[in-house]
Structure 1
């Protein structure tokens, strides 16, 4: 057994056989002899257990990129933002030669030419208009079938015109075909997975700054990243505290301004968010027969959840129609939102903070 291959569960058949035999002898109250039927059954049970353990170990190794194979390896690659490279088509440049005295000629995109042996077919990748004064024109072509099979055709070996064109007398490739590749192998993909962390060498992008900022302190519930002026990165964290602790801002600054995180040209600023206070006041008309106390408590509870949800993120607007919709429970006939008097537009550097919720039952209606 290769010592480099991990084993998650013991699979030594002698060990398993000994353990199973000892337990069975304990249950039977006697020793099992080699020729007895119990020993034959025991051999079969141990064999099946070994098969299951081998499958389990093989399945667990699939979770490690060093030993994984497709398609599990592709899922592991996705965790580090990598996709298996697809097969690529080979290409080259072919030269079309036209007859003397031709007029304007169009060589349409998709015109097919093939190798002498007929094994590789190539197509032009763009429309080419040939003026009357031009006798030859060079055109890029790509193979119909992706893969390595279309590589290596020497100059002059791509010379068959499969889609004849008026005034075109000759075609041949002027360079060797190349660039075709098969689908990336498991081994190649494993190598790129191993190198993947190096692509995150600095923050740079908004997503990277978000990652590093959220990793700075466990109190942070949300982060806003913006660039108010070129070269400046403004990071605004949100915590459950009414006032953002200075330590949180210091932690963010220290993490995000580190040399191995911050691009050289960026200036990092960590600032507390702006609190935007508001109240929720609603007048509610209930259907006849509804209990006012029960319904008021239910509506208040729904609005408290709404306010808490909005408080948990930066930049969430407070919309009056949304408040009214939250209040429309089964026994509610009509809702009028008194406060806020208008929709509150919250910027990415702000968070809405509800200071009070007031639900007034103004009447009843038969509906």
Structure 2
């Protein structure tokens, strides 16, 4: 679909309308029209108005096609396939409330208890929880009070301030990284899901069907790989945007979505997880030609190219570790050559993703051309 040629229903070049009017006038008036003629200038003004109208009309007509549709019109396209746009979600995290060792009775964590990482952003517990005398802590799921990605990425230990004093509770700390917060689904991602929507009509648990429902679980999901290791078993691996590995909350969310009786065939035993990580290192030196005017600017571009390579390498499962790609990107950024000891070409299997663990590409010096 995405290789189709550009479509235009109306001409949007003002010169087209000028030439059209001039030809018609000259045919009727039996005389040539000079560029400085007041009538020619009038035709230019009319052409300007016609062009504006044509641009608006052309855009409206093009949005009848999925590739060009956006905003509310894209929502209507999705409605035709019972595929609504994914709304924004709030990030979730598991909070551990630490209990005093000497206490009489039970400790009670109320639903709605507030915790914060910084005093501004709040997380609220989602259920009541009770700890008996022999417990030293109690874990409770909490949700960010703001929709969007702002609540993501708080590593274990980052959320440690309790705003509601609780009897027998001496402190709190998050034990998982907050995740799952999403913005409202962007047009491009939504359009691709609508394109895949016919796959959900399959009742046989097709590969594309599992992909569709996995993507539908969250707009943060960027890559999905469902496969059958043995008959009757389905292993779904998925990856988040920018190569982020999904946490427990996101895996549970996808597991729930795929386990729905309207989605999973009764004979499928389903496993959902993040990809297996294959670590690699970048070690070596790069050299810059003496003829480059601004060496520091080139260094910055090469550093940026390296970061882009690391992201590229980690954002898709099954993507082989390819040092030639790193060389290509760095040379394109201004390096004369690279002398790499690592990485070497490594095949990455399906369900696996390459992640960097050593990042040591150094400036080796300046060389003559």
Q: In the alignment, which residue of structure 2 is the partner of 1:192?
A: 193
Q: In the alignment, which residue of structure 2 is the partner of 1:157?
A: 158
Give CA deviations for 1:41-91 in whole Å, capped at 9, x if unaligned.
111101111111111111111111111111110000100110000111111
Q: Matched residues in 2 for 1:28 and 1:38: separation?
A: 12
Establish whether residue 69 from structure 1 lines up as the match of residue 106 from structure 2: no
Q: Matched residues in 2 for 1:155 and 1:82: separation?
A: 35
Q: Matched residues in 1 for 2:126 and 2:51: separation?
A: 56
Q: In the alignment, which residue of structure 1 is the partner of 2:44?
A: 43
TM-score, L = length of structure 1: 0.52
Give the 3 Å change call, closer, same or farther, for CA 57–120 of structure 1 in structure 2. Answer: same
Give CA deviations for 1:306-329 in whole Å, capped at 9, x if unaligned.
xxxxxxxxxxxxxxxxxxxxxxxx
Secondary structure of the structure 2 residue equivalent to 1:137: strand
Q: Matched residues in 1 for 2:111 and 2:4: separation?
A: 56
How many equivalent residue pairs? 205
Q: Matched residues in 2 for 1:51 and 1:137: separation?
A: 64
Q: In the alignment, which residue of structure 1 is the partner of 2:18?
A: 17
Q: In the alignment, which residue of structure 2 is the partner of 1:109?
A: 111
Q: Which structure is larger by alpha-carbon Rg, 1 or 2?
A: 1
Establish whether residue 125 from structure 1 lines up as the match of residue 132 from structure 2: no
Q: In the alignment, which residue of structure 1 is the partner of 2:173?
A: 172
Give CA deviations for 1:274-298 in whole Å, capped at 9, x if unaligned.
xxxxxxxxxxxxxxxxxxxxxxxxx
Two-structure CA RMSD over aligned residues (Å): 2.5
Q: Kindly report which structure 2 residues correspond to 1:1-367, keeping only aligned pairs within 5 A, or say none.
A: 4-99=5-100, 100-115=102-117, 117-202=118-203
Give the 3 Å change call, closer, same or farther, for CA 102–160 of structure 1 in structure 2. Answer: farther
TM-score, L = length of structure 2: 0.52
Q: Matched residues in 2 for 1:103 and 1:202: separation?
A: 53
**Retained in 1: the 8 A contact 2:15–2:47?**
no
Q: Matched residues in 2 for 1:189 and 1:111: separation?
A: 35
Secondary structure of the structure 2 residue equivalent to 1:171: strand
Q: Matched residues in 2 for 1:129 and 1:47: separation?
A: 72
Give the 3 Å change call, closer, same or farther, for CA 157–109 of structure 1 in structure 2. Answer: same
Secondary structure of the structure 1 residue equivalent to 2:67: coil
Please, which runs of 5 or more residues in structure 2 have no aligned partner?
A: 206-264, 268-369
CA drift at 1:103: 2.2
Secondary structure of the structure 2 residue equivalent to 1:145: strand
Q: Matched residues in 2 for 1:3 and 1:22: separation?
A: 34
Give CA deviations for 1:312-355 in whole Å, capped at 9, x if unaligned.
xxxxxxxxxxxxxxxxxxxxxxxxxxxxxxxxxxxxxxxxxxxx
Q: Which runs of 4+ in 1 moved over 6 A?
A: none
CA drift at 1:202: 4.8
Q: Matched residues in 2 for 1:51 and 1:3: separation?
A: 26
Secondary structure of the structure 2 residue equivalent to 1:71: helix
Please, which runs of 5 or more residues in structure 1 have no aligned partner?
A: 205-262, 266-367
**Retained in 1: the 8 A contact 2:97–2:138?**
yes
CA drift at 1:25: 3.2
Secondary structure of the structure 1 residue equivalent to 2:147: coil
